[in-house]
Structure 1
Amino acid sequence: MTKFKILSIAILGVALLLTSCKQEEQQASQQQALPLAVAKVPQKNVTAYTTYPTAIEGTINSEVRAKVSGYIQKVLVDEGQRVKKGQVLFKLETQSLSQDAEAAKSRVNVAQVEVNKLKPLVEKNIISEVQLETAKANLAQAKSTYRSIAANIAYATVTSPVDGFVGAIPYREGSLVSATSAKPLTTVASIEKVFAYFSMNETDYLNFIQQTKGKTLQDKIENFPKVGLILANGQAYDQTGIIETVTGQIDANTGTVSFRAVFNNPNMFLTNGNSGKIKIPKYYQNALVVPQSATFEQQGQTFVYTVGEDNTAKATLITIEDKTDLFFIVDSGVKAGDLIILKGIGKLRNGMPIVPQESEFDSIVKQLKPLFQ
């Protein structure tokens, strides 16, 4: 075999080897290209919510206290019971008061007899008018004492000051109570409507006020959006509320401004002492949105994978203006119409090839679930 033939065979072998390697690389590249769902970044009208812890109280929350000292003889209601104004709640022991009343009544009778005896004597000028007036004064004092004791006996029957629902009853039959007892006998709360108290820090307050229409604070209060309520179990309350008052003053101790919202409570579901979160909506028109599940974080920054012209995944930094349960509202980084990868981002690295499978944005989003907040 000539040197020329040997060289030709060698060149042919190298060419075949290179072709084979190139085919293998192409095949490997095609195998690595993942088929992934992509969609165009849309503009949507969306509502985001800011939440604040809240405490619930009845619109009327009246303490019921004993006006006189005594032992509780009877407890005539139970906790949670609905009562009417004037309904008897407790009866206190009045035996000693009753004895005092009998003695006072006797003194009234004695004083009355004295006055009756002196009247004809004064008319006949047997005694002076001064003696009669003194007797009348003694009678008036005896009657006043009797009325005071009688009032205390009446106070021993404790009634409800308002229509509402009975709260906790810390004292039971046999307990000694008085006007100075540390705890009230109970509370009666009116809960047909309830107040929700919450606070904002100074920055949130200023942003909220400045973004609300109106020239004066009262104008702005009237234009505040209706608010929602998230209950302690994480469920949404089925009534919306109205913000009625705002102090407008920064609390020096907490650095916050206090608000009060009112909610209807037709089923008496809410009661005094409930807690939860107030949801204040903020509305965005034609906002750029991306699903939260289509993003990832690196060093405190948020990224999405956009699709490059060569069908490769490109890690793209975005800045977030706000968020909803499903979406991030994007301030910058992407624009309407950009293709982003919606699923499988955990398998991707920057520059990896993909096989884009474009879908309607809304059809993909319907399959998503809110991320845990």
Structure 2
Amino acid sequence: QRNVASAQTYDDAVAARDAASASLQVAEADLQTAGIELERTTITAPLDGVIGRSLTTQGALVTSGQSEPLAVIRSIDAVLVDVTESAAEILAWRRGLMTGTLDESDQDVTLTLADGTEYEHNGSLRAAEPYVNEQTGVVTLRLEFPNPDRLLLPGMYVQVRMPQGVVENVVLAPQEGVSYDHRGRPVALVVGEGDVVEERTLDIIGARGNRWIVQSGLADGDRIIVAGVQRIRAGAPVAPEERAESAD
């Protein structure tokens, strides 16, 4: 009888152990399920950036395929700035690289903020569209600027100044004093020796403000006629009146 009681006690202990083990497995499974559910309450973004206001209220039902985002994350550690340049300006820039007036090692781009102050960090050209917009005649360039202080924000209006290179021995001529002959060549009427009008054919390589950059055809000190050009011909004597030169 004692042996029977001992065997029964042993069987009860084994059964209790197995029940406890089963309960432990159920509890571990519940814990794992709760952990998975807890992870699902946290949404991890696949990118770094700055998040703005939430676009979804607390307690709202959300799904993985919904069209409305929960929030918008913007990466602003480095900011991309898209600008447009005319086809003529792009050609002048590339010719500057080929002729050496623009050094490839000095292509930093400067930026002016919306309040008119100069941004302290220079940017660089990151990409350019390989085509010219047929309707506007411009090329879109993408520039990259460092933004360690987060002064630049998406959507902010800025002005960009790209390098134009250095050209020596040129003359700045007022655009109103330059016309074109029947061959389409740029010409200017100049008051020569004895106040006699001379016609000069110009080689224009660019513009700066309201003036043409003239590489040949004009010399320092030449007096260009800017008024009454339609009534004057080369070889005619004139009585010139000097006009005050405005600064660009």
Question: Match for residue 176 of structure 2?
Answer: 293
CA contact (8 A) 2:189 2:229 kept: no
The answer as to 2:232 corresponding to 1:349 is: yes
State the SS of the aligned residue for 1:228.
strand
The answer as to 2:110 corresponding to 1:227 is: yes
CA contact (8 A) 1:227 1:278 kept: yes
Structure 2 CA distance for aligned equivalents of residues 224 and 289 of structure 1: 24
The partner residue of 1:271 within 153, 168, 172 is: 153
State the SS of the aligned residue for 1:143.
helix
Amino acid of the structure 2 residue aligned with 1:145: T
Structure 2 CA distance for aligned equivalents of residues 203 and 279 of structure 1: 16
Structure 2 CA distance for aligned equivalents of residues 246 and 163 of structure 1: 20
Cα deviation for residue 306 of structure 1 reads: 0.7
Structure 1 CA distance for aligned equivalents of residues 150 and 231 of structure 2: 52
Structure 2 CA distance for aligned equivalents of residues 123 and 328 of structure 1: 107
The partner residue of 2:163 within 281, 289, 294 is: 281
Structure 1 CA distance for aligned equivalents of residues 33 and 10 of structure 2: 27
Please, which runs of 5 or more residues in structure 2 have no aligned partner?
Answer: 1-8, 134-138
The partner residue of 2:33 within 145, 162, 172 is: 145
The partner residue of 2:24 within 136, 139, 151 is: 136
Structure 2 CA distance for aligned equivalents of residues 181 and 276 of structure 1: 35
State the SS of the aligned residue for 1:304.
strand
CA contact (8 A) 2:195 2:237 kept: yes
Structure 2 CA distance for aligned equivalents of residues 224 and 123 of structure 1: 87
Match runs of 1:307-318 below 5 Å: 307-318=191-202
Per-residue Cα deviation, 1:106-152 (whole angstroms, up to 9, x for no partner): xxxxxxxxxxxxxxx99975239766554433221111222233444
Structure 1 CA distance for aligned equivalents of residues 125 and 83 of structure 2: 11
**TM-score, L = length of structure 2:** 0.63
Q: 1:347 to 1:257 in 2, by over 3 A?
A: closer
Structure number with larger C-alpha Rg? 1
May I ask how many residue pairs the two structures share in their alignment?
A: 226
Structure 2 CA distance for aligned equivalents of residues 130 and 204 of structure 1: 86
The partner residue of 1:196 within 81, 91, 107 is: 81
Higher helix share: 1
Per-residue Cα deviation, 1:286-345 (whole angstroms, up to 9, x for no partner): 32221223323456443221113342333433121111113211122223343322x424
CA contact (8 A) 2:187 2:200 kept: yes
Structure 1 CA distance for aligned equivalents of residues 126 and 10 of structure 2: 70
Higher strand share: 1
> Highest relative contact order (Cα 8 Å, sep 6+), 1 or 2?
1
Amino acid of the structure 2 residue aligned with 1:326: N
Structure 1 CA distance for aligned equivalents of residues 158 and 237 of structure 2: 47
Backbone CA RMSD of aligned residues: 4.6
Cα deviation for residue 260 of structure 1 reads: 2.6
State the SS of the aligned residue for 1:127.
helix
Question: Match for residue 118 of structure 2?
Answer: 238
Please, which runs of 5 or more residues in structure 1 have no aligned partner?
Answer: 1-120, 215-219
Amino acid of the structure 1 residue aligned with 2:245: V
The partner residue of 2:214 within 327, 330, 334 is: 330
CA contact (8 A) 1:195 1:261 kept: yes
Amino acid of the structure 2 residue aligned with 1:317: T
Structure 2 CA distance for aligned equivalents of residues 205 and 316 of structure 1: 27
The answer as to 2:224 corresponding to 1:340 is: yes
Question: Match for residue 260 of structure 1?
Answer: 143
CA contact (8 A) 1:240 1:263 kept: no
**TM-score, L = length of structure 1:** 0.46
Structure 2 CA distance for aligned equivalents of residues 296 and 240 of structure 1: 41
Question: Match for residue 52 of structure 2?
Answer: 166
The answer as to 2:64 corresponding to 1:179 is: yes
